[in-house]
């Protein structure tokens, strides 16, 4: 279950509740990012995993989830990165196939710091995301610039079925290329640290 999320492209990052899917992957992540308490689902399966090492890629996060006993339990993963540099913003959006799997993720990754590099980041997990479920996450990003052909695969959200990556649903309209300028880093933890979204350089969930 691996899918989409990104950062806002504004010199002054907007408040989470103001974030809307934008043309950039920043927008994408921004859209997905934090929402108000009322927006959270009663049984949230989509989580925002924060304070990841900036060196981590989407596939590295998937490997970590597999190692922590979550193999085959997630169907959407999106780790927003800056389009200009390919460096992540340090957070990701992951949807799990069940509430139990999501709870296991919280239990195993909250406070986690045994990274494969020398990072001193201490992981935290939040269920207060604007969009819940694989279908909502897919709809948020399928027409986003983050899915443009010019964007590197690692910067895009991915979906899975029983641990096997599946083709992402095609867009329903023409996708615009992401902006070339590098967006300012988003603030995923503000306003409750929801998983609303920042994204690669410019895409909003």
- pLDDT for 12-32, tens place per residue? 433 333 333 444 555 455 555
Return the CA Rg of the chain: 15
CA distances in angstroms from 167 to 41, 57, 160, 186, listed in the order given:
27, 19, 8, 28
147 torsion bin: left (phi>0), alpha (psi -120 to 50), beta (else): alpha
Q: Which residues of the chain have pLDDT under 50?
A: 1-23, 27, 34-41, 181-205
The predicted pLDDT at position 25 comes to: 52
Q: Tens of pLDDT along 149-177?
A: 999 999 999 999 999 999 999 999 999 88
Q: What is the pTM of this model?
A: 0.71
Rounded (5°) CA angle 198-200-205? 40
SS3 category, 34: strand
């Amino acid at each position: 279950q691996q899918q989409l999320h990104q950062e806002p492209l504004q010199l002054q990052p907007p408040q989470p509740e103001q974030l809307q899917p934008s043309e950039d992957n920043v927008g994408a992540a921004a859209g997905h990012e934090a929402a108000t308490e009322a927006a959270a689902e009663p049984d949230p399966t989509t989580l925002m995993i924060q304070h990841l090492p900036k060196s981590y890629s989407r596939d590295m996060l998937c490997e970590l989830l597999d190692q922590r006993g979550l193999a085959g339990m997630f169907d959407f993963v999106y780790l927003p990165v800056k389009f200009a540099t390919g460096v992540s913003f340090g957070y990701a959006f992951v949807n799990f196939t069940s509430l139990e799997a999501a709870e296991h993720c919280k239990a195993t990754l909250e406070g986690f710091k045994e990274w494969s590099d020398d990072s001193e980041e201490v992981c935290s997990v939040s269920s207060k995301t604007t969009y819940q479920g694989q279908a909502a996450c897919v709809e948020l990003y399928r027409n986003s610039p983050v899915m443009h052909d010019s964007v590197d695969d690692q910067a895009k959200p991915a979906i899975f079925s029983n641990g096997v990556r599946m083709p992402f649903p095609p867009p329903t309209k023409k996708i615009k290329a992401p902006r070339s300028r590098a967006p300012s880093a988003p603030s995923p933890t503000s306003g409750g640290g929801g998983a609303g979204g920042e994204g690669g350089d410019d895409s909003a969930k």
